[in-house]
Structure formats: structure tokens, C-alpha cells
Amino acid sequence: MADYVHDDGFDEPAVNKARGVLRHVAGLVTPDAAAGLGAVLQRDVPLRLSRLGGHVINGVTDRVRPRGPRMRALVVAPGGQVRWRDVPQPRLPSSQAALVRPIAVATCDLDRPMGLGRSPILLPLHLGHECIAEVIEIGDEVATVQPGDRVVVPFQISCGTCASCVAGFTAHCVEVPPLSMYGFGLTGGLWGGAIADLMAVPYADAMLVPLPSGVDPAAAASAADNLASAYCKVAPHISRVLACDDARVLILAELHRRLPFGVSMPLYAGQIARALGVDEVHFVDRNPAVRAHAERLGLHAHPPAALKKLSLAPLVVDATGTPAGLRVAVSKTASDGVCASIGSLHARSAIPTALMYFRDVSLTMGMPPVRPAIPDVLNLLAENAIQPEAVITDIDRMDNAPKAIQRYLTGTSTKTIIRTE
């Protein structure tokens, strides 16, 4: 991956603009934002509000520990401002917890619109939720990891023992408020971010997954979210695809102008589909550079104008991020097929329900529970069946994180890695 290390003498021209404070705040009082707020406040409102008592970083507040040990944490504020902030160093919140030191942090496809203030997620926030970390300290009840271990830190907080977690629905653990996640600020419950010197993991045995020997932390960093999420959109449906005479997967990325999402997740989905036995994977995007990247990964890349000529597919992965794109994705799904949508930040979308009825098309959408998928993803990595490092387009050092993240937000990098090594 040395080819992707950033040259500090070169600054990529800004192609994405950040919203200022007023426009960002105005975007928080829309139907799209209200829909997200409803999910956040569906239960445990008092517990969520209790975390507002001070500047909470991984469970520790300035009010509680104003003079304790300090550390760096990266903050993104309205206007695209990116800077280090001096914050309280986290401590073990319980005997089930661990302290970890991030050693490789990846940008998420949502980080760009979020960091630019162009999403219904409130800024400022502490950024970063895809990471490999080194275990620094563990609680007395922790049994599965030891200090010095390298681990994947899932971005979703989960206890591992509640009914939801036992059933595999770790994205909706009932022991923490809804949508409890690293790197999403107030929306995610103020758990802090991964671009920091330390993180607290409240349920170490349930959450942390050891990194296999020989796997590069930078390549595996997105196993904490985007890579595992892509696996969840593809793997459950592969047996259905392979049983078809026309065994193909169609991945739709940017078809129309949209929020400036990254495109790593649809590229990962293409790699995973091929690794699981699908030879014919088609990838559609309006950006020639993205199509060229997809071709290098062994995918058949097409501009949106070619969609009319492409056959219906038994599995369509919708990564368009728009209501219009979702309609196209459903319409390109074959009879008895599945349209697996990554989703969007829109409050509602119109889909062709009559067509779905007559074709018996299934539509799945949502933020999947990544923790159960991480071991399978790591197995693919260890076997060299997938090469997520081929999706990385920029690597920089943790000390340069503010500049690297600013470059990612305003530029065109597909996947940026911040690493300490």
C-alpha cells in the first residue's frame, strides 16, 4: 500500500464545499432530520439525555474529570473545520470494558457529507468509527482479549447478552440508547471517535474481534463498518444468485447528483460478490474515475446511460443514496430477486410496489449489525479472497490527521486511512 501514501507536498483541489453554521442548522429542521431523530429517541430518552451533562468522550466528561489525564481527539465543526481538541482521557467504565489505542482508522462513506455539515447529523462531533486498535487495559471480567492484542472495534455499541444481541441484532442492543455508535456525536450517543489517542470499549468480550496474524491493520480497518456492512448486503443472498441461470450481481453507485458520499462500500460489495463465487458483477457510476477503479477490481463498470441495456439481476445492491436511484435499483431486480439497499438520508422514497408484487422482489434496507459479520470478513481477508487495500486511495499519519481528514472531506479520495505506524 506504499503507492497510496500521501505526498505532503501536494494539496488536492477542493471539490466539495462545507456548509456554514446557519445552513447546517437549517438542514437539521427538515423532514429528513426529523425521521432520523425519531429513530434516535424511540426509547431510553432519559439515559441518552443523561450523557449530555458535560463534554462526554467515551463516557468521561470534562465536568467530572476537568484536571485528569488528557489526550487528543479529532473534532469536525460546521464550515468543514477539522482540528485536534484536548479532551479527558477515557478510563475503564466497568470491569467488562477495555481501553484501546487506535492504530489504523478508515474514513466511512458517510463521513464526507457528515463532516461537511451536509447531513442531518449535528456538528461538531468527534470523528472516526472504523478502526483497528491495540488493547491497552482491560477490566477484571474481560476474558477474550489481553493488553497488546490487535482488534477490530465495531462501530456499533453492543453488550452481547441482551435478547437483541443474542439474536444477532447487535445494532439494536437494548442495554444502550438506540443508534449508540462511535464517531456520530450526539446522534450516536456521545461515545467519542476513533481518531483519538484512546477509546473506551464498554463491552470488550462482546465487541472486540482479534485481528488475524499477518493481516495489515490498514487493510482491515473498514471491517469495523463499511466492509462488514457490504458483506451483510451481499453474502446472505449469494446462494440465491448462484442458483440462477443468469448468476449476476448489479451494483448501483452514483447515478444522479447526490450528497458527496464515498464509494468504498459498493466497491467492497463487488469484491465480496466475486470472492463468494459470482463471476459477473456489474458496477454503475457516473464518475469515470470511479468506473476505472471498479474495473481495476475486476468489475464490469458502466455509465448510467448503459443501464437500459443491462439485464435484470437476481441481486441488486443499491448504493445510490437517492429516492430516484432506489426506484431504478428495484426496477433492475429480476423476478424472485433481492434489492439490497444501503439506504439514504431521505425521509421517504417512492418505489414501484406493483412491479415488486408481480416479480416477487424483496427489498431490504438499513444499517446492518456488523459485529456478527466481522469474523467472516476477517476470514476472507486472511485467505486473500478480498483485497480491501485496493480500495484505499490515501494513507497518512495520525499526527497529520486534521490535514488528511480535511483533504478527504473536500477532495475525491475513495478511502483514507489514518495510521500510527
Collapsing DSSP to helix, strand or coil, 191 comes out as coil
Residue 64 has pLDDT above 60, yes or no: no
Residue 420 backbone phi and psi in degrees, to 5: -90, -15
Q: Residue 118 is part of a domain; what is its CATH number? A: 3.90.180.10
Residues 142 and 281 in one domain: no
Residue range of the domain that includes 235: 228-365
Which of 75, 13, 105 shows the shortest CA–CA distance to 396? Answer: 105
Q: Are residues 172 and 68 in the same domain?
A: yes
Residues 244 and 125 occupy one common structural domain: no
**Other beta carbons within 10 Å of 163:** 9
How many structural domains does the chain have?
A: 2
Neighbouring-strand partners of residue 365: 341
Residue type, 40: V
- Check whether residue 42 and residue 137 sit in a common domain: yes
Domain membership flag for residue 135: yes
Task: Give the residue-averaged pLDDT of 317-334.
Answer: 97
111: helix, strand or coil: helix
Contact 143, 257 (CB under 8 A): no
Of residues 130, 117, 113, 128, the one with CA closest to residue 77? 117
Taking 50 as the threshold, does the pLDDT of residue 183 lie above it? yes
Cis peptide upstream of residue 124 (ω within 30 degrees of 0): yes
33 with 70, same domain: the answer is: yes
Residue 63 pLDDT level (bands cut at 50, 70, 90): very low
Does 71 lie in the same domain as 98? Answer: yes
Asked if 238 and 354 sit in the same domain, the reply is yes
CA dist 303 → 230, 251, 287 (Å) = 22, 12, 8
Q: For residue 268, what is its C-alpha cell?
A: 467492497
Distance of alpha carbon 6 from the chain centroid: 22
13 and 98 co-located in one domain = yes
**Mean pLDDT computed over 79-98:** 95
Burial track 205-239 (b if 16+ CB lie within 10 A, e otherwise) = bbbbbebeeebbbbbbbbbbbbbbbbbbbbbebbe
Is position 155 within any domain? yes
Pick from 1-5, 163-167, 378-382: least confident: 1-5
**Does residue 176 sit in the same domain as residue 285?**
no
Question: Does 373 map to a domain?
Answer: no
> Mapping DSSP to helix (H, G, I), strand (E, B) and coil, where does residue 189 land?
coil
* Confidence band of 216 (pLDDT split at 50, 70, 90): very high
Distance CA 329, CA 347 (A): 18
Kindly tell me the burial class for residue 348, based on how many C-beta atoms sit within 10 Å of its own C-beta (0-12, 13-18, 19 or more): exposed
Answer yes or no: is pLDDT of 365 > 60. Answer: yes
User: Is residue 59 predicted with pLDDT exceeding 70?
Assistant: no
The sign of the dihedral angle between the CA atoms of 368, 417, 263, 83 is positive
d(CA 60, CA 56): 5
- Shared domain check, 190 and 133: yes
The x, y and z cell numbers of residue 331, run together, are: 426496477
Q: Are residues 66 and 183 in the same domain?
A: yes
Residue 60 has pLDDT above 80, yes or no: no
Model confidence band, residue 344 (pLDDT cutoffs 50, 70, 90): confident
Q: Do 213 and 321 belong together in one domain?
A: no
DSSP string, 152-181: EE-SB---SSSHHHHTT-GGG-TTS-TT-B
pLDDT at 2 exceeding the cut of 70:
no
- Per DSSP, 150 falls in state E
- pLDDT tens, residue by residue, 218-261: 999 999 999 999 999 999 999 999 999 999 999 999 999 888 99
| HSE-up of residue 129 (Cα within 13 Å, Cβ side) | 32
